[in-house]
Structure 1
Amino acid sequence: MDKEQPLIRISVRNLVEFVLRSGDIDNRAAGVDRDAMLLGGKIHRKLQRKMGAGYQAEVPLKHEVTCQGFTLSVEGRADGVIQQKEGVVIDEIKGIFRDINHLEEPVEVHLAQAKCYGYIYAYDHGLMEIGIQMTYCNLETEEIKRFQSVYTFETLKAWFFDVLGRYEKWARYQLEWKKKRDGSIKQVVFPFAYREGQKELASSVYRTLLRKKKLFIQAPTGVGKTISTVFPAVKAVGEGLGEKIFYLTAKTITRTVAWQAFETLREQCLRMKVIVLTAKDKICFCEETNCNPDACPYAKGHYDRVNDAVYELITTSDELNREILEEQAKKWRVCPHEMSLDVSEWADAIICDYNYVFDPNAHLRRFFGEGNKGEYLFLIDEAHNLVERGRKMYSAEIYKEDFLKIKKLVKLRDERLTERLKDCNSQLLALKRDCEGYQVLNSVSHVYLKLMSLMTELERFLEECREEEIRKEVLELYFTVRRFLNIHDGLDENYLIYSELEDTGRFKVCLFCVNPANCLKEYLDKGNSTVFFSATLLPIHYYRQLLSTTKEDYAIYAQSPFEPKNRLLLLGMDVSTKYTRRSRQMYRRYARYLLQVAYAKAGNYMAFFPSYQFMEEVYEEFLELLKEEGKEAQEIEYVMQSRHMSEEAREIFLENFGEAHPNSFLGFCVMGGIFSEGIDLAQDKLIGAVIVGTGLPQVCRERELLKSYFDGLGYRGFDYAYLYPGMNKVLQSAGRVIRTDEDRGVILLLDERFSDGRYQETFPREWKEYGRCTVDHAAGQMKEFWESFAVGQPTGRTE
């Protein structure tokens, strides 16, 4: 290698899958990713151990080629190198569920991987020829089928350099773009005057990225968390501390805020390609998302055209917004979702949902698949959401009734599949008979084995089936079973296995991930550094324990830049949302509080409730009170969140808060819902929040299991299962009020439990001053607060 030349690296797998792909997108092939399953790694190790002394397993290989202006390094790991008298053989192992007898030849990209390893090994050892062996193993039966061939060194060399030649222009583009990007980053400065504590926050992020550590940031609303994390991450990329930023969010609205932060820096001539990944069903051009060449013209021949579409886009435009992506996809007649994933490979920053990184069934395999890693910087926004999302991503469940349903569906069509489904149903029936309500299980390995047998028959059936509706139903079960098998293979002490007979009569077996930290680590370790940040990351020890496994993580508490006197915090002591206290009288008392807030000062308010039912009960009493006072229309306007709101309905709901109202306007919302976090209603758009109750999750099987699990570890199980998640919703809802240093607002916490020390342990530092009130005295305290701003001071409302 020329030490003076820049180095560009690519894995063998990514190289061949990128350069050699062709043909259609077709989701009718059930096992598209079957060789990437966790189970595949298990069978690899088993076969490698059986191969004897002449077999060298997991051999790292690297070949560097000097190109004009740079060096290209192709790297990978051969599954096996076999030393025989006749010569050396490269072994490439793939685990599959298909009947291996149906395989007539190796899959092209699998063979291409092996040929790359063959060329590199032959080059390194001066071999004139080398053997290539493709080993396919059925994951259930462990039957093996091998394809063997011998290649001369010259044949492999010509083939290898043809593949590299087709990739060279992409590597050259990558190098030239990096120079432009890094040069522009040097010119970028922080785009605003630093708020109090903001410079220290940005510096802490940079130091974390420099040291390749993890950082937890508890930063109150209004500190400017997004730009304070994006700016140092961009600077870190310019200094070579990372190659790609992943800005991860839980909600669509926070993706928009992240995009705007990058756009603000681009106004200073920053040259960075930034992409927001949109869910397939939202960006699909077809009425129904059905990814096969018969149903979608954009799926037909997609892989023949997509590389040209991507290359044209990235070499002619820095802009990668949704409109441009859709326009390019239509021009080249390719799938916009798949094309955007390909474009992301050449982007400098990717803004996306958590699942694109962490979900084993949905992650971007090109970045996070087995064997892949890179110089990634993870910025995880609203990180408090990742605990519950992580639990869902790494848990799996199967229902007995689903097997019975598919069994009836295929009974007259496929005897072999019917028998396997019958076996699974019998296993689950036996567990059901032993289950009274629910049962914690030590193991379900006997069910696992039956599911493995079923997968082979499901694969076969899906390949043969031509009845679309039936195929759709079977495919759904296939993915459910595959997920269960994948999760089962990673079971450890962070899981509970249980069975449950639900109230509906359905019986399930669940692999429940109680602590997702270890699973998240697998993906975070593929990058350099991670910053977790949120306005509600309290108590910090709770989030550190459930999001990270290392003890050396940094944590900082950013001070609020806002004057405490601009906010009135009141605890309502004469109300409770406890089930035992719920009554019409209690609902009416809550409704009276809402009237007191609305009458204290004309403005926009949101009231957050623990459930739709509670909200509707208080809403009815609120309407009754208005009628009694004869002030239905002329003095207070109101709107209520509905259970199933479309995006358009959400936008209309929020637009109400941007319009001028002659008197008070009150929004009825659900705590933990779409309006309780991620929305920005600054200044007069929102001057108060009423929090009804402590936000505790409803008592259910999994919450009780969490409580028992953490009790067993010596922690306060109730706090881990109920109190901390509940108070997070409270803090998020309250955070809607004070967004800028010009804002004035009131926050009412209405539940007697807020005076309990355990609840107050989760209060942020800026809540150290608060008042107590009852429904009869709240109005006076609020009027006094608002009147303190009346003389010669801005009120936060623009009249």
Structure 2
Amino acid sequence: MKAMPAHRISVTALADFSCRTGDLNPAGNAAPTAREGILAHQKMQRAAVLDSENQATSIESEVSLVCTITTAQGDVRLRGRVDLLDRTRHCLTEIKTTLVPAEQVPDSQQSLQWAQLYLYGFIYLCAEESAAGLEQLQLELVHVNIRADTQEYQRRTLSRVELEQYARSALETYLQWLERVSLWQQKLMASARDMSFPFGDFRAGQRDMAVAIYRAARDAQPLMCEAPTGIGKTLSALFPAIKSLGEGQVSQIAYLTAKVAGRLSALQALSHMQSSGLAVTAVQIRAKQATCFCSNGRCERDESGRCPMTLDFFDRLPAARDELLDCGIISDAQLDDIAWEHQLCPFELALQLLPWVHVVIADYNYVFDPLVKLPHFSDSCSKTLLLIDEAHNLVDRSRSMFSAQLSRSDCLEQASLCRQFHPLVAHALDNLARQLLAHAAGQVDELQIVDSMSGVLGRSAGVVIEAMVASFSQAPSLPDSSGELFRTLCRFVVISDLFGEHHRCITSINKAGRRKEVLVKLFCLDASTALLRQYRLFRASIVFSATLRPAAFYRDALGMPETTGLLELTSPFPPERANHAIVDWIDTRYRKRTESLDALVELIYRTSDIRHGNYLVFFPSYAYLQQAWEAYRSKYPEREVWRQSSDQSRVQQHELLEHLEQPGHRVGFAILGGVFGEGIDYIGERLIGVIVVSPGLPGLDAQTQLVASHYQQQGHDGFDFAYRYPGFTRVLQTVGRLVRSETDSGTVILVDDRFKQRFYRALFPQHWQVQLPRDQAKLLEQTEQFWDTLEHDTDSPEA
């Protein structure tokens, strides 16, 4: 029996890895859509295989080529599919579509296209019987300019020796790399098999979560898991996933989170396992803007706007790639240092590692967003395990991913900036601004909502994109502000194409001085179908969070299949570590806020005065927060207070968190669902009291009303799905900041009589022991008793 080849390699994969040279993403080159490319291919192929009388020619299209080559690493099966093959002339033709003349197609792109042809030619000479004695081969590269409807041919004749040397050199490079990757895989399998849980014993619930995730990965089944804060979700998810990876059930883990803190937690969990003997490779994909050396001031773009870190990128890539693989778990600092050493864009360098590492840690958008999702997560994911942390965030995030908007004033402002040096861009923007005005012609109301849209705006935006791309390589470069508009236009065009029954077109108009402003938003009501489509690419999708209740709501909103397994875990910590109370005598409804403000301020002061420490008061809006903060400072100027503001930078937020680590007695005013209410561990004395003001219902705006109507039409309670469930999720997340370890303790006060309703009480976690004091005096008495009891238990000999 003939032995199976050691490796099966496609021409595309081999060329992409071993044969790329030159610049990365060269500017000044717009590409056709996938559909345009397919249609152009098919048109040319039909013309080639049939003559003018519709009779077959000697040319064949979409011809599969396969050969087996013996190498030092074993036999290799190399395969590919060439666009056109003429066996009588021994000529291979590759078709590439473009929107520009062939001479404007960048050298780096053309060299890759020729590389594929060389490899096809080598396979043909190896496998084709009729080519057995052939010493040279004719190769054709055809660029089909869709915009001009022209074809430009380039022809090269290469000898058998040249093609074989080229192919074997490429194979040697690729196989050496595969050998290194295989060595890592062997080390992973051995170490994962022997690895014990890093902290010895599991916390209550951790083992249940780990077992459920292991089985889901093994059986390729979706899973939704609600695990309370403090249980150690990150490690409970990654530990069984790594075990599955080591056993070969999955080939890669994609760990997605909504926030930077979540990604750092994932890296930390991997480091804990590494300390327990695990050999694993991992990379974090950070936001491009956050990693860019140009944005950080470490380098400067040239006069054409090109970043020096992208020039000759593929020539310097191999050495950097080798270094990074040796790192195992690649830290941000290691990635940046190696990228700087080799003068490479760190973001793009990280992307080059995606096919080769065991664990990829990234934001949701790199898997789900139609504009920025990575090709790596669009193909060959059938053995990739998808872990989605803090999955409650994905509902709103996914709506944003599939929404877009265009502003007339933004177009006019950018047109003015471009008029002198980039008149074609300015002209296209002026036309788009006119189309926006025409779109709103006849609209009487400030807001108009329809369930359909014309393709005119999308096409006009596409013209602007093409004009901007054509200007990228020109000097002087486009204004810096054009980058944001370019991304906005791209999103609008893509979402225009995706616009369907789950979208609404919202047009708002207002008069800004002498100029009429028109804002067109393509709003996604429900992205669950799009999410499900992406889940199906993976072996199994596992979503988890501290707040996925009710399960039926989140299963539908997240697009999880009906076959999804459900796991609900209870808190691992003693319920007596926290004191929960509902204050029903302060009305936080919008119309009553001014009237009840004095009582709220008094409540905050009196409850935080019982025990010194850090307290956080959470509000549903910045306006309400500001109102309460000013009233509190005015009445109690001697108290240390701080607040979250809408324009706070990450640095300022980090400084505030560091300040909380210092001993003191202070009250913070923050936003429900904001950065201080999710994803942060306030360990020990960093937080001893949480006051939640209102059930956190989203504001009554047109978009949320549309979402409510959509769910109502789907047979659900629209108000619950659009307002009450999302609002209470924020409450749960916020309260979950308080007790995150066995030694944490504190008080929780829910301010609003609606918390007493059966609807909310049914959503309370099992470990909440909620009290209903009749007035403030009783609340203060119960709070003092809680702290006294806790201190007594702590001081007792049995504690």
Give the structure-2-normalised TM-score.
0.87
Q: Using the TM superposition, name which of 377-386 and 321-330 deviates more.
A: 321-330
Q: CA deviation at 1:573?
A: 0.6
What's the counterpart of residue 570 of structure 1? 581
8 Å contact from structure 1 (residues 404, 421) kept in 2: yes
Pairs within 5 Å for 1:223-234 = 223-234=231-242
Tell me if the contact between 2:421 and 2:476 (Cα under 8 Å) persists in the aligned partners.
Answer: no
Whether 1:658 aligns to 2:661 is: yes
Residue 577 and residue 132 in structure 1: after superposition, are their counterparts in 2 closer, same or farther (change >3 A)? farther
Is contact 1:25-1:292 (8 Å) kept? Answer: no
Does residue 693 of the first structure (1) align with residue 700 of the second (2)? Answer: no
Question: Tell me, what secondary structure is at the counterpart of 1:182?
Answer: helix
Query: Which structure 2 residues correspond to residues 266-415 of structure 1 after superposition, within 5 A?
Result: 266-286=274-294, 287-288=296-297, 292=301, 297-315=308-326, 317-365=327-375, 367-368=376-377, 371-373=379-381, 375-411=383-419
1:637-786 superposed matches below 5 A: 637-661=640-664, 664-767=665-768, 769-786=770-787
Task: Name the structure 1 match of 2:21.
Answer: 22
Is this contact kept in 1: 2:29–2:470, CA < 8 A? no
Instruction: Report the alpha carbon displacement of residue 292 of structure 1 after superposing the two structures with TM.
Output: 4.5
- 1:605/1:688 contact within 8 Å kept: yes
In structure 1, give the amino acid aligned to 2:658.
E
Describe the SS at the equivalent of 1:113: helix
Q: Does structure 1 residue 528 correspond to structure 2 residue 529?
A: no
Q: Is the 8 A contact 1:25 1:293 kept in 2?
A: no
- The one-letter amino acid of 1:368's match is F
Aligned residues of 2:622 and 2:671 also touching (Cα < 8 A)? yes
Q: Deviations over 1:416-465 (max 9, x none)?
A: 655544443333222111332223141222333334444444433444x3
Residues 455/639 of structure 1: CA separation in 2 closer, same or farther (3 Å cut): closer
Q: State the shift of 1:625 in Å.
A: 3.6
- Aligned partners of 2:313 and 2:241: how far apart in 1? 35
SS of match in other structure, 2:617: strand
Provide the C-alpha distance between the structure 1 equivalents of 2:705 and 2:38, rounded to a whole number of angstroms: 33
Matched, 1:177 2:184: yes
Deviation digits for residues 302-326 of structure 1, max 9, x if unmatched? 33212112213424x3352222223
Aligned-residue offset at 1:136: 4.3
User: What corresponds to 2:525 in structure 1?
Assistant: 514
SS of equivalent residue, structure 2 residue 792? coil
For residue 14 of structure 1, report the CA deviation from its aligned partner: 3.9
Say what the alpha-carbon RMSD is for the aligned residues: 3.4
Q: Distance in 1 between matches of 2:449 and 2:605?
A: 48
Deviates most, 618-627 or 743-752: 618-627
Q: Distance in 2 between matches of 1:430 and 1:749?
A: 50
- In structure 2, what is the equivalent of residue 252 of structure 1? 260
Q: Write the distance in 2 (CA, Å) between the matches of 1:442 and 1:249.
A: 33
How many angstroms does 1:237 deviate by? 0.6
Query: Aligned partners of 1:74 and 1:579: how far apart in 2?
Result: 68
TM-aligned CA distance change 1:593 to 1:212, over 3 Å: same
2:508 pairs with 486, 500, 518, which one?
500
Matched, 1:546 2:557: yes
Preserved CA contact (<8 Å) 2:588 2:693:
yes
Equivalent residue number for residue 98 of structure 1? 100
Q: Secondary structure at the match of 1:402?
A: helix
**Residue 107 of structure 1, aligned match among 99, 110, 119:** 110
Deviation of 1:581 (Å): 1.1
Query: How far apart are the structure 1 equivalents of 2:43 and 2:649?
Result: 51
Instruction: Give how far 1:604 is off.
Output: 2.4
**1:218 aligned partner, one-letter code:** E
Q: Would the alpha carbon gap of residues 263 and 101 (structure 1) be closer, same or farther in structure 2, given more than 3 Å must change?
A: closer
| Structure 2 match to 1:614 | 624
Displacement of 1:149 in angstroms is 4.2
Q: Which secondary structure state, in structure 2, belongs to the residue aligned with residue 270 of structure 1?
A: coil
Question: How many angstroms apart in 2 are the aligned matches of 1:45 and 1:776?
Answer: 79
Distance (whole Å) between structure 1 residues aligned to residue 543 and residue 336 of structure 2: 32
Residues 396-421 of structure 1 show CA distances to partners (whole Å, capped at 9, x for unaligned) of 22223333334444556666655544
Greater alpha carbon shift after TM alignment, 100-109 vs 743-752: 100-109
Q: Residue 25 of structure 1: CA displacement? A: 4.5
Question: Using the alignment, how far apart are the partners of 1:99 and 1:761 within structure 2?
Answer: 65
1:259-287 per-residue CA deviation (whole Å, 9 max, x = no partner) reads 11111111111111222333334334444
Aligned-partner SS, 1:793: helix
Match among 185, 191, 194 for residue 198 of structure 2: 191
**Kept after mapping to 1: 8 A contact 2:222/2:560:** no
Q: Are 1:445 and 2:445 counterparts?
A: no
Of 454-463 and 269-278, deviating more is 454-463
Distance across 2 between alignment mates of 1:138 and 1:691: 61
Task: Give the letter for the 2:196 counterpart.
Answer: V
Letter of the 2:694 partner, please give it.
G
2:593 maps to which of 557, 570, 582: 582
Which moves more between the two structures, 172-181 or 427-436? 427-436
- Per the alignment, do residues 603 and 424 of structure 1 end up closer, same or farther by CA in structure 2, a change over 3 Å counting? closer
2:267 matched to 1:240?
A: no
User: Using the alignment, how far apart are the partners of 1:182 and 1:376 within structure 2?
Assistant: 16
Q: How does 1:211-230 map to 2 (within 5 A)?
A: 211-230=219-238
TM-score by length of 1: 0.87
Show the counterpart of 2:53.
Answer: none
User: Residue by residue, what CA displacement relative to the aligned partner does 1:364-387 show, whole Å, maximum 9, x if unpaired?
Assistant: 33x135x45463222111111112
Deviations 1:20-73 (A, max 9, x none): 333344664354xx35x5555664687489667879877776665554445555
Unaligned runs of 5+ in 1: none
Which residue type is aligned with residue 587 of structure 2? Answer: S
Query: What SS does structure 1 have at the residue aligned with 2:794?
Result: coil
1:249 Cα deviation from its structure 2 partner: 1.3
| Equivalent of 1:147 in 133, 142, 153 | 153
Aligned 8 A contact 1:202 1:229 in 2: yes
Q: What is the deviation of 1:358?
A: 2.5
Partner of 1:576, secondary structure, is coil
Cα distance in 2 between the residues matched to 1:60 and 1:776 = 82
Alignment partner, residue 592 of structure 1: 602
Distance in 2 separating the partners of 1:656 and 1:549: 41
- CA 1:398/1:118 → structure 2, altered by over 3 Å: closer, same or farther? farther
CA contact (8 A) 2:293 2:299 kept: no
Contact 2:20/2:314 (8 A) holds in 1:
yes
Could you tell me how far 1:739 is from its partner in structure 2? 0.9
One-letter amino acid of the counterpart of residue 182, structure 1? M
Q: Could you tell me whether the CA contact under 8 Å between 1:605 and 1:667 is conserved in 2?
A: yes
Query: What amino acid does structure 2 have at the position aligned with 1:793?
Result: T
The partner residue of 2:273 within 242, 265, 290 is 265
SS of match in other structure, 1:107: helix
1:166 matches 2:169:
no
792 and 166 in structure 1: CA distance in 2 versus 1, 3 angstrom threshold: closer
Report if the CA contact (8 A) 1:592-1:775 is conserved: no
Cα distance in 1, alignment partners of residues 106 and 573 from structure 2: 70
Paired with 1:133 and 1:793, the residues of 2 have a C-alpha distance of 82
